[in-house]
Structure formats: structure tokens, C-alpha cells
Structure 1
Amino acid sequence: MMQTPLIAALQRIVGEAHVLLGDATAQYVTDWRQRTHGQALCVVRPGSTEEVSQVVKVCAQAGVSIVPQGGNTGLVEGSIPQDTGQQVLLSLRRMQAVRAIDAHNMTITVDAGVVLQSLQKQVDEAGFLFPLSLGAEGSCTIGGNLATNAGGTQVVRYGNTRDLCLGLEVVTADGQVWEGLQGLRKDNTGYDLRNLFIGSEGTLGIITAATMRMYPKPAAQLTAWTAVPTLEAASALLALAHQHLASALTGFEVMNQQALALVDSHYPHLRVPMWQDSPFCVLLEASDSESESHARTLFERLLEEAMEQEMVADAIIAENLKQAHDLWHIRESITLAQAAEGVNVKHDISLPVSRIPAFVEETDEALRALVPGIRLVNFGHLGDGNLHYNTQAPEGGDAAAFVAQFEGAIGDVVYQAVLRHGGSISAEHGIGTLKRDKLPHYKSPVALQLMHRIKAALDPDNLLNPGRVL
């Protein structure tokens, strides 16, 4: 590839080894689901905030747009370049410093490229807990988690990534650096800039560092796996769990029979319990500040009452950490099992918990009428109303042909039902490119107008991740 003045300038900023060209960009320009392939002018890998700032400035001067990227684990095609070959992909993976741990303030300040699993480990070694947990934690970065406001399995207790963040450092569209890493829990000095950048998917600024909350480690953590007859029973179990466990309830995941059947088919060594005889299974987790015996007593009382009220048909409580890990591994393997089965149609939606049973019944029926034999793979974070409502081709069918023929129609059925039941078409994955054109149909016109005004104010030349979200 012929060297341009822009590429030469980028090489001077970050070093020639960290400006990737041609075939060296391949791993950065394809999305995690292998659905979309882009093409970058180059991939730039800065090692510091100052380098990010300088990269943004020279790209702005050249009028070249930038696509920020963390671990490239997103599911809405929001962190890969377009196919023009004219965008700079800015990878933050080299920025992996832990800048500070403040035990008294219970915060940790890290670069945006720190991998989530590494952050969890650093906090654990400091004697605390960092509760954000999701399937891609071995490769996703905290910057990406913040840019998409990722959720995960413990939102019911600790909230989304937004709720775990106390400060940000951001490079703006003109290359300035906003330093907001103080880690304050109270700061009423004007507009909430931190929360404006969180969830903006790199369209308003580039997150380069963050100050995150740490929590005391629980004295005990217990996991239970239950078989439930209906989603109504699962919702009732959730309400009962809140009564018995209160803030100790940290996870509440629901999985339908089809989701677990795929795990059993592709990963039989995981030995999925109870799935063959139950339409749904629920995975509960409780974190106790007193002791394991106290936690077990609360869990046993909860499950006894749930069985008496016929919410639960059967249940097991993990006897040790390995058993608990094995149960969670089953839940986390659903997405991998779907991928192994073939390309599929995914929906990341949220609804009031009370509306989920009616939504699923109505939408299941509509989709079975649309595509006879369609496999409905429903699972997710029932505790916070987030359902991964996915569909797979009929057994033995051509998966690629199924997606090509029916993805649009399936999406219309699902999203219209979401709208009727007062939900959102994106719970934790974001909008990216995949849902961008759907957003105007399901978002308030006033809200969209305000979003466009914010984008125009913070990125007037539309250089940061253009064509995403809006």
C-alpha cells in the first residue's frame, strides 16, 4: 500500500509497528459474529491518551473519520469500519495500565484497553469485588464495556457498567482531553458528561480511561439451578427471591428448553441438569455478607416455599465453587452453542418483568406461524428484564438461507411486540449499524432530535464512528 501523508503522520505518533496496513488489519475489520467485513485505511494502536489525542487531531485535519475499537466483541456491528477503506480504525488494546487503586475510596482507575477479566483479577487481588461479568470477559475491554453500557449477569444487584463507573477520561472529536477521573460519588457541577459518553458507542468521544467502583467481597456466594414449569412461575420465583434474599440476590437467569438443548447437543460433557423434563430452568445466585451457612439457610427457605407454591419443580444448590462454576458455564455456553449450530437471528430486548410471559407467548406463536419449525432460543437476565430472544433455523434447515430470507420479517414481529409491551429493542448490546435503521421506528422523535443535536454539538464534522447509532 502506498504511504500517504496521513499514514506517515500516524506512524510518527505511535511508531511504525503500530500502524497496520493491508492484510495485517484482517482481525480488526470483521465483526465477532463473522457477519460483516469492513476495510480500513489502516489500524492505529496508540499506547497512551496523548497518542490518542494526537491521532484524533491529525485525522480531523485530514477529514478522515475514526472507528474506535476495544476487544471487538460487539454484537451490533458498531466497532468495525465501513467497506470504503477510507476510515482509520483506532484500537485501544495496547492501553492496559492500571493507573491507581484507592482502597479507602473503593475505586480502581484503568486504561480503556484493560480486558475485563484482567480487571476482575486486579480487583480480586486487592481484596475487593468487581461485579461486571459477561460471556466475552476474556477478551472485551472496559472501554468497550463503557462505550456500549454493557450489562451481564449481575445487573439485578449492581447495575449496568454505567452504574459501576465514577469517572472517565475522554478524547473529544477535536483531540482535546477531558479529565474526569476523580472518582466522586457526588458532583453536582453541571451536566453529567460522564453518563453522556457512556453508551454512546464511540460517536461522541473516545474513552481512554475510567475510574470504576470496587465492592467488598461477599463472605459467601451460592448458586442454585431450578426447573420451572412456565415463565409466569419464573417471574413469581423472582419476586419471591427478592423477598427472601433482598440485596443478596445477585443473579437471576432464565433459559428455555431449546437453549439448553443446543448446549447439551454441542457440549454434552457439561451435563446440563433437568432440561429434558422442564420448559424452563432458572439459575440463581446469592452473595451473603455474613456466612455460607446463613446464605444456604436463606436459599433453602426460598426454594422450599417456591416448591410449596409450585413455582419450582426441582432444584439443586451447588455444593462448592466448582459446581457453581459448572452451572454458570452452562448458561454462558448458550451463545457458543448457537454459533456452533449455525448463523441465527438475535434480539437483545428489555421489557418490564411483568410483561415478559405475555410477550414470549404472543411472539412465539407469531413466529411459529411465520416460519413453521422455527427454533426459539430464549434466555437471559430475567432479574433485570433483559431477554435474549433468538431464533434458529428449523432443524436440518439451511441456516444461512433462513437468516437471509427471514431476518427482516422476524425482526419486525419481535420489535412490534416489544413496542406493544412497553419495552426496548436494545437492552445491553447497543445500536451500532445493525439496529440503526430500526431506531427511528421505536424511539421517540423528540429523543432522536435531541440525540442528533448532541452529536452535532460534540462531533460537528461527523468524524467519530459515523453511521453508528444515528
Structure 2
Amino acid sequence: MLPLERERFLDALRAVLGVAHVLHQPQDLAPYLTDWRKRYTGQALAVVLPGETAQVAAVVQLCALHGVGVVPQGGNTGLVGGATPDDRGEQIVLSTRRLNRIRSIDPAAGVLVAEAGCVLADVQQAADAQGMLFPLSLAAEGSCTIGGNLSTNAGGTAVLRYGNARDLCLGLEVVTAQGEVLDALNLLRKNNTGYSLRDLYVGAEGTLGIITAAALKLFPRPTAQITALAAVQDVAAAIALLGRAQSRLGCSLTGFELMSAHSLQLVQHHFPQMSLPFDLPSAWCVLLESSEVEGESQGRARLEALLEAAMEDGQIVTATVAQSLAQSRALWHLRESIPLAQAQEGLNIKHDIGVPLSRMVAFVESTAELVTQALPGARLVVFGHLGDGNLHYNVQAPQGADAARFLADHQTLCNRIVHDAAVACGGTFSAEHGVGQLKRDELQRYGNPVAVAQMRAIKRALDPRGLMNPGKLLPGEPPH
């Protein structure tokens, strides 16, 4: 874009949003240009902060007029570079942080309408104030936003009971690539009137349009949530315990997280104020949570009976049940601090794989052998949502090695080993983090060719000029 055209474009943005909400100085742009993992840093013509859907539509219309790509950004907590512009400085970042209103809550219908920039924790609190539950929960919930959660079809720790973000969404408001407002804020549980446009935009990572608001499902708030930590000898024992828990607890089982002993040791090393309730007697731990509607005493008795029976049968080595909300939060904090401990330890090779539970033991055992043979001294930091078959199978550099050099030299080989193994087991290379720019080549390698072709056709139909989050998700898409 020529300098004169650039200034005209910026002036037009200022006329729509006001001078204060069009950022273009380097120091103002900087916080929006690097992803959370610090893997990608781009450049941008400007960062814009619309405060209402009409302003989003007006901005997109201006971008369409001038041929400028739009990179939507919520809390900037993504792990695949999906909200970072490229390095040409010819795109804008559209931050949704000012689209942060709870528009309505209907406890009787179990529906909350939130704008895309609402922080997930604020939505949880708004539901709680009405005696309801919005169950989407993940480590970044204090900073991630609803728009980003939906754009990546976020998973988190309660998928086992409530499903992914898509399952928690009834309808959407979206600004299309042409700057039109699609009002599909369906508030009904049943509405069978043609194509599910919601499902096109959820998980599309902003490549088809910009989500500006969503109608979200609420659930009755549990009367008690009971948390336990159990040590198990191996993954096979963890899966056996999962089956027992599902049989005994039914739909009240809301969380079942697997953590390697090494991942917890990493937390203790970098955050020594956090302590485990027992010495690690085995290679793995499981974090279980039961959400009860019958009362805490009944739920606690059921969970304790489950653990006692599992211990008698040798499925677990030792276990503890949280006796208070503070203890429960402390156990969850151990789990949620694993990614932070990894970041403190240094750059690492992250994987977000999904594998059928029937193949999980074979995957973990064979992949560990392959990785350690190919990368002697590499440390496996494995944890995740075993209940739904999703593991974060991360690989840390050998102790004392240059982490950045390890990442640069070995990421491609490590990805091939881990992703080949997951796909060979009938799994996926991306269970909940999305594709972004990090995994576009993986979609080309592992994606079903017919499915990828259909995705390209949808992209061309809805965004023929390729202005919506260009260079993300679809392999080989030219930047705009």
C-alpha cells in the first residue's frame, strides 16, 4: 500500500472508530504482534478496537474496499499462531477486547448471550451469579475470550461431560467477509431450518468471518464439586480407572486428567510453593473431578468408595480427596501450571494429539521409545485430557541443552514421529488447539484430500478475496 493510500485508509478507520481506537505507533502495536508462545512476531498497518458490531462491519467494509487483510484477535492466548499477522505489515489486527458485554442471561431457558471479547472467566461468573454453570474451563480462562474459544472450538477440562465449545454454542452473530452482519443468535435448543451456519464459523479460526457475539448454553450449577488426585503405575491403569469411574459416577464425572510424574516434578521445580499431597510413587497421576447434584456428602462417599475399590484391585497406588474448595483449587492449579513450568524451563516442542482410548497405551509406549531413540536425552512432558483421548505430548530439550537450538534442529523430525504415530492409531495431530499457521503443513500432510478441497471451496465461496485471517488454517493459502 502506498503511503498516501495508507494514510487515507487510516483516516477512514479513525472516522469510524475514533482516533483512540486506531493504533499505529510501534509501541502501541507491539503487544498485539507476538503470539503467547513467542513463536511468531508479525507486523501490522494498524490495530483497531471496535466497540460494537456495527463498527466491526464498517471496518471490514473498509478493508474490503482497500484490499486489506483482517486478523481477528481475542485474548491472544492461542498456541498455533492463529491470531498473529504476517511480517509484511499490510494487514490489520482487529482486537475484540472492547466487545465485552454480556447482552442477556435467561436462566429459565439456560442461555447467555455474550459478545466475542468477553473473557471466559467473566462469562463463568455471570452464569454463577444466576445460579447457573457455563462449563467451558481451561487454564487461560482468566484472559482468553469467547470469540477465540469458539473460533478454535476450544476443549478444556470438562469436555468429558459437556463437550467442546461448539457443543456449548446455540447461535452466533458474525460479520462476514463482505462486512454484512449475519444475525444467527439462535436461542433455541431445536431449530432445524437449513444449513448449520454456526458450525461453519465455529472452529474456522476467523478465516470465514469474525464472530462478534454468541448464544451459549448454561447448565444447573452443581451443588458440589469433589476433586481427587490418584497415582497410577501406567497409562493402562489410568484407562482402567477411567472406565471404573464412568461406570460408578456416570455423567457426574466431569474431569479426568492424566499427568506424567515428570510434568509434575517440573511444576514443583519452578513453583516450589506448590506441593503434592504425597510423594510421587509412580510414573503417572490422574486428577478426577465429580460434579454432584445430590449433595456433597453423597458425592464424596461415592468417589471415596470408587478410589478404595480401585486401590484394592491395584489400579491405583495411592490417592487423596480434596477436603475443601481451597484444596481442590490447589490440585487443579498443579495441573494448570504444567504449561507455565514448561515455559519457564525453555522452548519445547508441543503436540496436541488425539487418539482413541483403545489405542492410547500402544501410542504412549511406542512413541516414547521412538522419540527417545531419535532424540537421546529428550524429556517427555505428557499430560492432558485422557477422558476424551486428548494428550499434550510435549518434548523438552535434554537437561542443560540449548532449548532454542533443540527446537530449531529437531521440531520437524519430532512432529513426524508423534503425528505419524497418532494418525496411524486413528487419531489426529490437532485435538483442541487448532491449526493456525503452525500446523498448516500438517493439515496438508494428514488431512483427507476431499475434506481439504471442500474447505477450500467454502473459503472461496464466503471469502473470495481471501481477506479473513489470511495465511491461517488452510495449507498453501497465499497471504493477502
Q: TM-score range by the shorter chain?
A: over 0.9
Q: SS in structure 2 opposite 1:236? A: helix
Residue 364 of structure 1 is matched in structure 2 by 368
Aligned with 1:119 (options 119, 123, 139): 123
Is residue 129 of structure 1 aligned with residue 133 of structure 2?
Answer: yes
Q: Distance in 2 between matches of 1:72 and 1:181?
A: 25
- Is the 1:69–1:92 Cα contact (8 Å) retained in structure 2? yes
Residue 222 of structure 2 is matched in structure 1 by 218
Is residue 189 of structure 1 aligned with residue 198 of structure 2?
Answer: no
Q: Distance in 1 between matches of 2:90 and 2:13?
A: 14
CA drift of 1:182 comes to: 2.4
Is residue 151 of structure 1 aligned with residue 160 of structure 2?
Answer: no
Aligned with 2:443 (options 422, 439, 446): 439
Q: SS in structure 2 opposite 1:276? A: coil
Classify 1:144/1:275 alpha carbon distance in 2 versus 1 (closer, same or farther; 3 Å). Answer: farther
- Is the 1:257–1:275 Cα contact (8 Å) retained in structure 2? no
Residue 15 of structure 2 is matched in structure 1 by 12
Q: Distance in 2 between matches of 1:91 and 1:383?
A: 34
CA drift of 1:22 comes to: 2.6
- Is the 1:67–1:89 Cα contact (8 Å) retained in structure 2? yes
User: CA deviation digits over 1:267-310, x for unaligned, max 9?
Assistant: 11111244532100000000111011110111012112211221
CA drift of 1:438 comes to: 1.3
Residue 270 of structure 1 is matched in structure 2 by 274
Structure 1 counterpart of 2:384, one-letter code: G
- Is the 1:261–1:275 Cα contact (8 Å) retained in structure 2? no
Q: SS in structure 2 opposite 1:455? A: helix
- Is the 1:255–1:280 Cα contact (8 Å) retained in structure 2? yes
265-274 or 123-132, which deviates more: 265-274
Residue 373 of structure 1 is matched in structure 2 by 377
CA drift of 1:111 comes to: 0.7
User: CA deviation digits over 1:331-376, x for unaligned, max 9?
Assistant: 0000000000000000001111121111011010001011111000
Residue 458 of structure 1 is matched in structure 2 by 462
- Is the 2:231–2:280 Cα contact (8 Å) retained in structure 1? no
Residue 29 of structure 2 is matched in structure 1 by 25
Structure 1 counterpart of 2:94, one-letter code: L
Aligned with 1:94 (options 92, 98, 103): 98
Aligned residue-pair number: 470
Q: Distance in 1 between matches of 2:240 and 2:439?
A: 32
Q: SS in structure 2 opposite 1:283? A: strand
- Is the 2:227–2:322 Cα contact (8 Å) retained in structure 1? yes
Q: Distance in 1 between matches of 2:224 and 2:374?
A: 47
Unaligned runs of 5+ in 1: none
- Is the 2:281–2:317 Cα contact (8 Å) retained in structure 1? no
Q: Distance in 2 between matches of 1:272 and 1:374?
A: 25
Residue 281 of structure 1 is matched in structure 2 by 285
Percent identity between the two aligned chains: 54
Residue 478 of structure 2 is matched in structure 1 by none
Is residue 39 of structure 1 aligned with residue 43 of structure 2?
Answer: yes
- Is the 1:263–1:272 Cα contact (8 Å) retained in structure 2? no
- Is the 1:227–1:274 Cα contact (8 Å) retained in structure 2? no
Residue 414 of structure 2 is matched in structure 1 by 410
Unaligned runs of 5+ in 2: 475-480
Aligned with 2:303 (options 283, 299, 303): 299
